[in-house]
Amino acid sequence: MPYEIDKPEDQWRAELTPQEYHVLREAGTERAFTGEYTDTKTAGVYSCRACGAELFRSETKFESHCGWPSFYDPADSSAVELIEDRSHGMVRTEVRCARCGSHLGHVFAGEGYPTPTDQRYCINSISLRLEPRDD
């Protein structure tokens, strides 16, 4: 799928840190409970670290105690792309930024969290940038 932001991989490597590149462009995962936004309660907008697209809002962030920031809904359904992921011997749904194709994490459903959507967007902190706002 063509993305609005389409850069050669050497340009992504130059713009991102090695860890950001590994997660965003190679579908890596940061270690659980190490990300800067795992326990953040700051009001604001979470954007894609690679391209700046708005992805999630703090109002939909919840404590899942899974080790990564969790959201129950994206800011806009067209902000993310969902792709079947059959890696690691299981079937999951990968979440990517719809604007640049960067890997964000995975979404899970039916886990029983008391959220309006019964979904958990399990997103790597390193894939995001929080823009705080005053409420």
Domain boundaries along the sequence of the chain: 9-132
- pTM value is 0.93
* Rounded Cα distance, 59 and 76, in Å: 13
Evaluate whether the domain defined by 9-132 bears CATH number 2.40.50.140.
no
From 48, 97, 100, 122, the catalytic residue: 122
Confidence at residue 43, expressed as pLDDT on a 0 to 100 scale: 96
**Residue 77 in 3-state DSSP?**
helix
Token pair of 83 as six digits: 């792709």
Confidence at residue 35, expressed as pLDDT on a 0 to 100 scale: 96
- Phi-psi bin for 44: left (phi > 0), alpha (psi -120 to 50), beta? left
How far is C-alpha 98 from the geometric centre of its chain's CA atoms? 11
Partners of 123 in beta bridges: 105
Angle at 55 between CA 53 and CA 57, to 5 degrees: 125
What Å distances lie between residue 127 and 12, 17, 54, 115, CA to CA? 13, 11, 12, 23
Confidence at residue 88, expressed as pLDDT on a 0 to 100 scale: 80
* Rounded Cα distance, 18 and 59, in Å: 30
* Rounded Cα distance, 126 and 19, in Å: 8
Q: What share of residues in the chain are helix, strand, coil (percent, to 5)?
A: 20, 30, 50
Confidence at residue 1, expressed as pLDDT on a 0 to 100 scale: 60
pLDDT band at 2 (very low <50, low <70, confident <90, very high): confident
Residue 135 confidence (pLDDT) above 70: no
For the chain, what percent of residues have pLDDT higher than 70? 99
66 in active site: no
pLDDT band at 89 (very low <50, low <70, confident <90, very high): confident
Structure confidence by residue, pLDDT tens digits, 70-84: 999 999 989 999 999
